């Protein structure tokens, strides 16, 4: 898993359980929940991001390769 990977949430107590989100950041200093995932919809508190551990995520699709930049 890496940034921009599409993942499914496996944490049962999460608001986004079984929902699909996108990894936006991996915080290597946070050992418990290092992966920040963004969702299309918000939860009851108005948030659309949350932290998860690696074992709480299932990668659905790897990041889509971005088009190469033009040579200058």
CB 8 within 8 A of CB 22: no
**Short-list 45, 58, 62, CA closest to 11:** 58
Decide which of 51 and 70 is more confident: 51
Ordered by start, the domain boundaries in the chain are 6-61
pLDDT in tens, 11-67: 999 999 999 999 999 998 988 999 999 999 999 999 999 999 999 999 999 888 755
pLDDT at 64: 81
Residue 72 has pLDDT above 50, yes or no: no
pLDDT at 1: 86
Residues contacting 1, CB < 8 A, separation 6+: 7, 23, 26, 35, 54, 57, 59
Q: Is the pTM of this model over 0.75?
A: yes
| Architecture, CATH, for domain 6-61 | Roll (2.30)
For the CA atoms of 53, 56, 59, 64, what is the dihedral angle to 10 degrees? -40
């Amino acid at each position: 898993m890496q940034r921009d990977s599409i993942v499914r949430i496996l944490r049962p107590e999460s608001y986004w359980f079984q929902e699909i989100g996108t990894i936006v950041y991996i915080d290597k200093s946070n050992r418990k929940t290092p992966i920040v995932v963004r969702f299309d919809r918000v939860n009851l508190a108005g948030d659309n991001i949350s932290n998860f551990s690696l074992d709480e995520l299932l990668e659905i699709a790897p990041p889509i390769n971005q088009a190469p930049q033009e040579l200058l």
